[in-house]
Amino acid sequence: MQNKLDYKNIRKIGLVTKPNSNFDAEILEIKQSLEQRGIELLLLKQSSKALKLKSYDLDELFKQSDFLISLGGDGTLISLCRKAYEYDKALLGINAGRLGFLTDFKVEGAKQFFDEFFCGKFRIEKPFMLDLMLETQEDKIIYKNAFNDVVFYRKHSQSMAHIEVYRNDKMFNQYFGDGLIISSPAGSTAYNLSANGPIVYTLAEVFILTPVCSHSLTQRPIVLPRGFELEVRASECIFCIDGQENFNMNDFKSVKVALSDKSVALIHPKNRDYFQILKEKLGWGN
């Protein structure tokens, strides 16, 4: 993964919006800011039906672009993170959503950002992802990554989830309730936060286990360091990666989760203050 972005030689930037959204005015504003610098804006095919800009499918957009802009909320940006790692491309999140812990500014702030960006005044943060190793009932190994979290939850609303977690073939813990969230630090302000899990600094090398509506008052979230690989066992449960990919636990002999060595390069303004963002988004001190 790149540590630096060659901002002086940027020629093409891709842009992705939330599906079925209408951000044509915002796209044109970004396009104008970039054209003034001789930079071409490329679109994901589904990003606009009206604008006559070059558009590509997602894989080709990553190949053609020096980096990509996500225009939307955190969900839009998260949906690009695993693909960004695959192509070793950085991402810039511009907020057109509601909350935005990962997206720093709205479209009206884009011109000022690009003025600073093309003078080298920006920063790249590289939060770590989660690695998943899935062994199917047919002994096939599937590797997946999650940027935010992996959520294990009950398959039937009338039943209770029973989830066992092992480390080195020894039971680490077992959870009875609605489910279990395994979260990266970047994902700590997502579903983990709503389930009363801890907020963890985005660049910390740890991950979090948070029970969902536990039937035991003694079950509490726990933060674990890099190097812990956990195996999750459960029947009649579903697990979901980043809120986007769903799998049936019964289809797998083994589901293992650990903090990855892999990270995603996220472009931010030079003066970005993570803790100020927390204060603003969560209303601390009000």
Residue ranges at the known binding site: 74-75, 148-149, 178, 186, 189-194, 244
Given 6, 59, 66, 74, the catalytic residue: 74
Give the contacts of 65 (CB within 8 A, at least 6 positions apart).
Answer: 12, 13, 14, 42, 89
- Residue 149 phi, psi (nearest 5): -165, 165
**What's the CA dihedral at 78, 63, 8, 113 to 10 degrees?**
-30
For residue 169, indicate whether it is catalytic. no
**One-letter amino acid identity for 252?**
F
CA distances to 24, 28, 101 from 50, rounded to whole Å, are 8, 11, 30
82: tokens are: 């695993």
4: tokens are: 């630096």
Do 172 and 166 touch, CB atoms closer than 8 A?
A: yes
Distance CA 250, CA 234 (A): 8
Report the SS3 class of residue 225.
strand
Report the SS3 class of residue 102.
coil
Do 183 and 156 touch, CB atoms closer than 8 A?
A: no
Sign of CA dihedral 18, 20, 26, 28: positive
DSSP letter, residue 197: P
Distance CA 41, CA 269 (A): 20
From the annotation, which residues make up the binding site for NAD(+)? 74-75, 148-149, 178, 186, 189-194, 244
For 54, how many CA atoms within 13 A lie in the half-sphere containing its CB? 11
| Residues with active-site annotation | 74
